[in-house]
Chain A
Amino acid sequence: MKKDSIKLSRLTTYLFILPMLMIFCVFIIYPIFNVIYLSFFNRSVTGNMTFIGLQNYVKFFTSGDAALAFRNTAIWVFAGVAAKILLGLLMALLLYRKFVGNRLLTMIILIPYAMPAAVSCTVWRLMYNPNFGHIGQFLQDIGIIDKAVSFLGNPSTSLIAVMIVNIWAVAPFCALNILSSLYFIPKDYYEAAQIDGANSIIQFFRITLPLISRDIKTLAILIGIWAFNSFDVIYMMTSGGPSNSSSILVNFVYQNAFEFNKRTYSAAISVICFLVLMVFAVLYVQSKMKEEEI
């Protein structure tokens, strides 16, 4: 082959990835720089931009919003991920056992995950309704509460109430993921352990858990990032309220940009989100890159 044709062939290779890279540049990378740029400015009602340095950031961190946002985000992400993984693990261990209807059950638990967020939020909002919701009625029937409680309308319960919806939707996904990790463990490990007289609890802690822990770690980072991003569920359930009691960082971005029309202030919160997100994303990418060679 001639040198020229090799060069040409090399150039055409780039044509395969060019459209993708262009989309990333125009709609992700350029906007990132743009949002960083915007965050250093103040935009007046008339649209005039004045450079104000780090003032938007200072304003956010001193406003009290920051403390609330970080507290809620930490609870939402860490407690949420722990609950999803734990429930998912329990479900996966259950589904791993052979029993009649096992496959049907695996399909059924997929439903919460397959439901569009808007639909599940509609259903849960009805169920949480203090006057005609199923949950309040059930809790009254078994005597936990004695009169109607508005779980979504009360600042002390709103975050937990929305978290339950999110855990309910994502735990089945974790279950399916962990289940597939369980199937990768060779059966003879358990047989050997059985011969040695190890009971199922010892088997779980000595064989199962060590072998799936790396997959679980990757899964935890992934659903942690999803949780960090899950603006839609919170917005559709409570709009972040009452009085921001169920708002996480991303809700503050949206609220300031589109409800208070404070675009540049919102841009500063976006940048903070971006920085937090990147830490987790790099962790995730590194654990993925270790898994497969390219």
Chain B
Amino acid sequence: MRKHHSRGTVLSKVLLVFLVAIMLVLFMFPVVAMIGVSLKTNNEVFQSPVTWFPEIPQWSNYVETFRRMDLLNGFKNSSIVAAGTILMILVVGIPAAYALSKLNFRIKKEVYYIVLLSQMFAPIVVVIPLYQLMMKWNLINSLFSLILMNVTFNLAFIVLLLKTTFDSIPKDTVEAAMIDGCNKFSIMTKIVTPISSIGIAVAVIFAFTRTWNEFLFAFTFISSSSKKTVIVKLYEILKNNPATGIPWELVMAGSVLTTVPLVILFICIKDYITGDATKGAVK
């Protein structure tokens, strides 16, 4: 059938362009505002009427933000927490996911149920006892407490993600290895884990972004400013200053720098956000 442009299809094309434009505007204007402000001078930020873009872009804001905002230290702390969380979550999560996917044991269904339930759990419900527990263990104001919390509240999600990845490995592969004399542990480390490297990379990215963005524990458990994560540092600039006293252009430059790596990572795992592998729990 030859395509021909009837009035109907032209109309629907115009409508499509129109709707796409509306969608772009609705979802992108805060991003545009962020970039716009990040390039303004401090005077331009408070100018009336409000403009979207500066007359001359101040690229130096992106350097200045590091000097004035103490973000580097925040980046360092966030990185330590993220690295620790990723390491611990893989050490605990890979065996659990492997067991749920490939091994048989009596309470498998119950364990699966527990994992699904804890994935839905709200940290705030237990923040008081956890605070007291960390006090007792002398871990308040230590980055390790944040690692423990991030592991706890991301573990279920990561295990489910890894389980789906391991599920796609054919049973024959595992059985062949078993006949060759591999035990369960070496099947996991030598066969299942290497074939699933992409799935594990996705899990690492998810663990990273979720830990990087975590606010509740990072805000309540850490009191000394040299140990605060970048997210808390950003928030505290807002909290501790009146709106007119905030160097918005530097805060926005810092915001752009914090967002860019995350957007890149999310684009890498885009297909896994939509895919059934993760359908059920992403953020």
A residues sitting closer than 8 Å to B (CB atoms) are 9-10, 12-17, 19-21, 23-24, 27-28, 30-32, 34-35, 38, 90-91, 94, 97, 99, 105-127, 129, 131-134, 136-137, 141, 168, 170-173, 176-177, 179-180, 215, 218, 222, 225-226, 228-229, 231-232, 235-236, 250, 253-254, 257-258, 263, 266-267, 270-271, 273-274, 277, 280-282, 284-285, 288-289, 294
Question: In the complex the two chains form, is B255's CB within 8 Å of A281's CB?
Answer: no
Which B residue sits closest to A27, measured CB to CB? B152
A113 to chain B, nearest CB (A): 7
Query: What CA separation (Å) do A132 and B29 show in the bound complex?
Result: 16
Q: What is the count of residue pairs linking A and B with beta-carbon distances less than 8 angstroms? A: 271
Question: In the complex the two chains form, is A13's CB within 8 Å of B124's CB?
Answer: no
Instruction: List residues 22-39 of chain B with CB under 8 A from any CB of chain A.
Output: 23-24, 26-31, 33-34, 37
A216 to chain B, nearest CB (A): 12
Which of B33, B149, B248, B280 has the most A CB atoms < 10 Å from its CB?
B280
Question: In the complex the two chains form, is A116's CB within 8 Å of B29's CB?
Answer: no
Instruction: Give the 8 A-B residue pairs with the shortest CB-CB distance, closest first.
Output: A31-B126, A16-B99, A281-B120, A31-B129, A114-B266, A180-B274, A137-B50, A34-B129
Instruction: List residues 1-31 of chain B with CB under 8 A from any CB of chain A.
Output: 16, 19-20, 23-24, 26-31
A-B contact pairs, 10 of them (CB 8 A): A13-B103, A16-B96, A17-B95, A105-B24, A110-B273, A114-B266, A115-B259, A118-B231, A119-B234, A172-B27
B185 to chain A, nearest CB (A): 8
Query: What CA separation (Å) do A251 and B8 show in the bound complex?
Result: 52
Indicate whether A116 sits within 8 Å of B262 (C-beta atoms), given known contacts A137-B50, A180-B275, A266-B128: yes
Question: In the complex the two chains form, is A285's CB within 8 Å of B273's CB?
Answer: no
Query: What CA separation (Å) do A27 and B220 show in the bound complex?
Result: 16
Question: In the complex the two chains form, is B122's CB within 8 Å of A229's CB?
Answer: yes
Question: In the complex the two chains form, is A23's CB within 8 Å of B259's CB?
Answer: no
* Interface segment, one of B54-62, B105-113, B169-177: B105-113
Interface of B is mostly: helix
B265-283 contact mask (Cβ, 8 Å, vs A): 1 or 0: 1110010011110011111
Query: What CA separation (Å) do A58 and B47 show in the bound complex?
Result: 51
A132 to chain B, nearest CB (A): 5
Which of A112, A132, A177, A253 is in CB contact (< 8 Å) with B279?
A177
Question: In the complex the two chains form, is A129's CB within 8 Å of B279's CB?
Answer: no
Query: What CA separation (Å) do A109 and B270 show in the bound complex?
Result: 11
Indicate whether A10 sits within 8 Å of B238 (C-beta atoms), given known contacts A32-B126, A137-B49, A236-B215: no
